[in-house]
Amino acid sequence: MTDVFEPCLMTTGIGSVPMADPDAGAAFVLDAGVSIPFWPQLPKRGFREQIIPQYAAAMPCVTIDDDEQRVTFSTAGKPAQLQAFYEAYLSEDLEPFALTSESAAGFGAMLRKAAGQTWPIVKGHVIGPITFAVGIANADKHLLYSDAELRDAAVKMLTRNVQWQIERLSPLATGRVMIFVDEPVLAAYGSSTYLYISEQDVAEMLGEIFEAIRAAGGIAGIHVCGNSDWGVVIRSGVDVVNFDAHQYGTRISLYADDVRALFDRGGSIAWGIVPTTGDVANETVESLSRRLDECFASLEAKGFDRDLLRRRAILTPSCGVGTLTPDQGRKVFELLRQLRDSLV
């Protein structure tokens, strides 16, 4: 990082919202009272807004099948497609890698509704390269991840996409743009299902995207909706680690040395402290405050200073709110706002 980012309990969301209409989704975010606004993903709008097809349009050798609602790849014609892809990549023209109104209608809606307003930080998001590469298979059930050339292309496609997002979102930010790389697959890192994913792969694939974010002036974050090997995640070089702290908040203290290294290089933790399930109905500001205190206390027991933990903390929901009802989604962000107000 070029300088230390101390969010001091700023709030933001993960991405998805419980609306299908783009303007309603943008209005939801702008009314949510977050410190760091984000563009809304709209999974209820249709298949193209799901996490993999949303970013797949610029990927060579990949087909998005709207009728079957699946994304597949084929190596037929791969040399020619890769040549065209790398020509576009090396041209440094970002438009071929842009989000489209078909797959990310909330992006354009947010730019329109937020026009003329600014915030210190604004947030974008992109699918992680590991989740993308293991989420696409060919007709023989082989994963795109197993094709080294296509895996590299996927990383480079996503680097250009985050650079495009930062360019477009920058007019809304008086400071910087934060990009969260969404890697749900890393919640199962080390399990028997994903033993083929090595720490070197994680570091190289994610590291390239994080560097692209920083090179464009942004802050590089990662969102893992669950628990993970936080040592592997932090050693990838990320600036902000976001996870489901409502369920797993104290687990990160098991990686105290890695968290210390994260803080030493100017990084932060984004605590996903408000649940994004039906359990939100049972939560209060007081119950969430107690849970966050437990998270901080687990690191204090490892020698961390409480004031440093507060300065390097962002507060978020545990995941996106796209699966909730609008009323539930509004409650998530109302609790988030009230929690922050009670702490600052």
Where does 190-284 have alpha helices with state H?
Answer: 199-215, 230-235, 245-248, 256-264
Across 251-296, the runs of DSSP E, i.e. the strands, are: 268-274
Cβ–Cβ under 8 Å, residues 40 and 29: yes
Helices 105-113 and 148-169, axial angle in degrees (round to 10)? 20
Read off the pLDDT of residues 270-321 as tens digits, 9 standing for 90 and up.
999 999 999 999 999 999 999 999 999 999 999 999 999 999 999 999 999 9
Average pLDDT over residues 5-12: 96
**96: helix, strand or coil:** helix
Average pLDDT over residues 67-71: 96
pLDDT (0 to 100) of residue 188:
86
Cβ–Cβ under 8 Å, residues 143 and 137: yes
State how far the Cα of 298 lies from the Cα of 272, in Å rounded to an integer: 16
C-alpha closest to that of 51 among 110, 105, 131: 131
CB atoms within 10 A of CB 209: 26
Q: How confident is the model at residue 117 (pLDDT cuts 50, 70, 90)?
A: very high
Longest dimension (CA), the chain: 59
Is the confidence at residue 107, as pLDDT, over 80? Answer: yes
Average pLDDT, the chain: 96
Is the confidence at residue 2, as pLDDT, over 70? Answer: no
Cβ–Cβ under 8 Å, residues 167 and 217: no
Cβ–Cβ under 8 Å, residues 98 and 54: no
Is the confidence at residue 59, as pLDDT, over 80? Answer: yes
Average pLDDT over residues 133-137: 97
pLDDT (0 to 100) of residue 123:
98
Structure tokens at 174: 């008086």
- CATH of 10-343, picked from 3.40.50.1100, 3.30.70.260, 3.20.20.70, 3.20.20.210, is 3.20.20.210
**C-alpha dihedral sign at 56, 58, 62, 64:** positive
pLDDT (0 to 100) of residue 92:
82
Q: How confident is the model at residue 1 (pLDDT cuts 50, 70, 90)?
A: very low
Read off the pLDDT of residues 211-239 as tens digits, 9 standing for 90 and up.
999 999 999 999 998 889 999 999 999 99
DSSP class per residue in 15-64: SB-S-SSHHHHHHHHHTTT-SB-BPPB-GGG-GGGSTTGGG-TT-TTEEE
pTM: 0.95
Question: Cα 318 from chain centroid?
Answer: 12
